[in-house]
Amino acid sequence: MAHSGINLIFEGQNLPRLLGGLWITIRVALIAIIAGGVLGIFLGVLRTFKNRLLRFILRLYLEFFRIVPTVVLLFLFYYILPKSMNLNLPAAEVATLVFTLWMAAEASDIVRGALISVPQHQVDSGLAIGLNRSQLYYYVLIPQSLKLMLPAMMNLISRIIKTTSLLLLISVLDVINVGQQIIEANQKQYPQGAFWVYGVIFVLYFLICYPFSLLAKKLQKD
Amino acid sequence: MTELLRVEHLNKAYGEVPVLQDISFTVNTGEVQVVLGPSGSGKSTLIRCLNGLEPYQSGTIYFQGQKIDPTPKNWQLLRQKIGMVFQSYDLFPNLNIMDNITLGPIKVQKQSKATAQKEALRLLDTVGLADYTAKFPRELSGGQKQRIAIVRALALHPDFMLFDEVTASLDPEMVRGVLEIMANLAKQKMTMIVVTHEMNFAQQIADNVLFLDDGHILESTPGKDFFTNPQTDRAKEFLQSMDF
C-alpha cells in the first residue's frame, strides 16, 4: 500500500486545502441559495400580478438566465463587468452574484407556478375577510404554496451546488480547483492521484447534496 | 326599516355573454333576502358582485346610503363589514381553527390577539365547536368546516352576511346543523342574502325572495307569498321542478 494513491489525500496540507476549497464552494452556494431564494420568492410573487410590462421584463430575466449556459454567464460577468462597468470584483464574489441571480430567476418560476396552483377559492375567501393583497400573499398564498414548490426547489438547490464545480473556470479556488492543483503537483509521485482526489470530491459533494434530498422527502411527508 | 343595501341597474357580462342584466333591489337592515333560481341564472355571480369579488360593467351599489366607488381599495375596506360564506368552505388549510377565525380580526381590524381569541371562543361555543381551536381544517368534517367558516365571517362583526349555496356540498345529515345556525342568525336579526337550493329552509327564513332567471330578476316577492303564490309562470315551474 506504500504507493497507493490514497496517501496523497493525507499528505502534507492536502486534506485541509481540499476542505478549504470546499468551504469556498459551500459559501458561494449557500449565499446564492439564500439570497437568490428570497429574491426569487419576491420576483415570483410579482410575476403573478396582472401588470403586463412587469411580467414581460421578469420573464425576459428568467429566460436569459435559463437559456445562457452558466459557464457563459460566469465569463460574461467575470470579464465584462470590470471592463464595461469598471466594477472589479474578486472572482468568488462574481461567482456568488451570478449564482444568486441564476437562483433567483429559476426560483421565481417555481414560486410563480406554485402560487397560481393554490385554488382560486383560497384567494376569494382571503379577500372576503378583508385581507389586502400583501396580507393575502403573506398569510394565505405563500404558506400554502411552499409545499407545492418544495420538490422543484430542492432539485434547483442541488443543481446550484453541483454547478459550483464550474467556479474553477474563473479561477476561484474552489474544491475542484484545489483538487486539480494537488493532482498536478504530485503527478510524478502519484500517477493515480486523480482517481483519489476526484473520489474524495465526489464524496464531499454527495455529503452536501444528499441531505437536501432527504430533507425534501421528509418535508413532503409532513 | 332602514335601508342597508341598494342595487341599481347592475349589469355584468363575461365578454359578450350577459350574466346579470338590469338587477335592482333593496335589502333592509335585519332582513333575510333569499335568492332563488335555476342553475346558471346568475345567483352566485350576483352575490359575489355584492362584496366586489366579481367586477360589474355598470350599475350602482349603495351601502348604508353611500354610493360604493368600486375600486379594489374601497372593496377591500368594505369587505370587513360584509361576511361571506362559500359553498366549498375554503378555510385556510395552513392555519388552525383559531387562526383561521382570528386572522381577519387581528390583521384587518387590528384587534388585540386576546380580544379576538375571546370572541372567537364565544362564537365557536355558539356553534358547538369550542373544543376545536387547535385542530386543522383537514381534521374536520364538511359540516364542521362550514360552521367554522360561518364563525370566521361573523368574527369580523359584519353588517350583513352573504351565503353562497353553503349547504350544497354537504352530506345530508350535515345540512341541518348549518341551516340551524343560519336560522338562529336570522332570528337575531342579522341581515342576510342567501343563495340556496334548500326550499323548505328558504321558505322558513325568507323575508323576501328574489327569483332570478337567465340574469334577470323575474320577481321580487315577500317570502310568505312566493312559495304559495308565485307571480310568474317561470317561478311556478321552478318550484314544481324543485318538488316543492
pLDDT tens per residue across span A29-77: 999 999 999 999 999 999 999 899 999 999 999 999 999 999 999 998 8
**Domains, chain A, ranges and CATH?**
6-221 (1.10.3720.10)
In order, the DSSP letters of A117-182 are: TS-HHHHHHHHHTT--HHHIIIIIIHHHHHHHHHHHHHHHHHHHHHHGGGGGGGT---HHHHHHHH
Span B164-188, mean pLDDT? 93
**B38-86 residue pLDDT tens:** 988 999 999 999 999 999 999 999 999 999 999 999 999 999 999 999 9
Nearest residue on chain B to A146, alpha-carbon basis: B94
Domain for residue B37, yes or no? yes
Domain for residue B3, yes or no? no
Q: Over 70: is that where the pLDDT of A2 sits?
A: no
**Cβ separation A128–B51 shorter than 8 A:** yes
Cell readout for B158 is 359584519
Q: Flag whether residue B104 sits within 8 Å of chain A, measured between CB atoms.
A: yes
Q: Flag whether residue B145 sits within 8 Å of chain A, measured between CB atoms.
A: no
Domain for residue B190, yes or no? yes
Cell readout for B76 is 377591500
Give the Cα separation of B216 and B57 in Å (integer).
15
Q: Over 70: is that where the pLDDT of A222 sits?
A: no
**Closest Cα partner for B238 from B45, B39, B43?**
B39
Give the Cα separation of A49 and A44 in Å (integer).
9
**B2-37 residue pLDDT tens:** 999 999 999 999 988 999 999 999 999 999 999 999
Q: Give the residue, B176 or A222, on which the prediction is more confident.
A: B176
Span B121-143, mean pLDDT? 95
Least confident of A5-14, A123-132, B97-106: A5-14
pLDDT score of A1 = 47
Q: Flag whether residue B107 sits within 8 Å of chain A, measured between CB atoms.
A: yes
Q: Residue A126 to residues A105, A123, A130, A182: CA-CA distances in angstroms?
A: 28, 5, 7, 59
Rg (CA), chain A: 21
3-state SS, residue A217: helix
Measured in angstroms, the CA of A42 and the nearest CA of chain B are apart by 20
Q: Over 60: is that where the pLDDT of B115 sits?
A: yes
Domain for residue B38, yes or no? yes
Please give the residue range of the domain that contains residue B60.
29-241
Taking one residue from A and the other from B, the number of pairs with CB-CB distance under 8 angstroms is 61
Asked if A57 and A196 count as a contact pair (C-beta separation under 8 A), the reply is: no
Cell readout for A22 is 470546499
Domain for residue B4, yes or no? no
Domain for residue B18, yes or no? no
3-state SS, residue B112: coil
Measured in angstroms, the CA of B170 and the nearest CA of chain A are apart by 17
pLDDT score of A3 = 58
Residue with cell 452556494: A29
Instruction: Supply the pTM of this predicted model.
Output: 0.84
Q: What mean pLDDT value characterizes chain B?
A: 94
**Cβ separation A140–B93 shorter than 8 A:** no
Domain containing residue B194: CATH number: 3.40.50.300
Cell readout for A147 is 409545499
**Cβ separation A140–B92 shorter than 8 A:** yes
Contacts of B95 in chain A (CB under 8 A): 139
Measured in angstroms, the CA of B84 and the nearest CA of chain A are apart by 6
pLDDT band at B243 (very low <50, low <70, confident <90, very high): confident
Exposed/middle/buried for B124, CB within 10 Å: 0-12, 13-18, 19+? buried
Q: Flag whether residue A131 sits within 8 Å of chain B, measured between CB atoms.
A: yes
ipTM tops the 0.95 cut: no
End-to-end Cα separation, chain B, in angstroms? 31
Give the Cα separation of B58 and B175 in Å (integer).
36
Domain for residue B158, yes or no? yes
Span A128-137, mean pLDDT? 95
Q: Over 50: is that where the pLDDT of A192 sits?
A: yes
Q: Flag whether residue B71 sits within 8 Å of chain A, measured between CB atoms.
A: no
What is the share, in percent, of chain B residues with pLDDT greater than 90?
92
pLDDT band at A170 (very low <50, low <70, confident <90, very high): confident
**Cβ separation B92–A127 shorter than 8 A:** no
Number of domains in chain B: 1
Measured in angstroms, the CA of B70 and the nearest CA of chain A are apart by 15
Span B140-147, mean pLDDT? 94
**Cβ separation A144–B88 shorter than 8 A:** no
Domain for residue B35, yes or no? yes
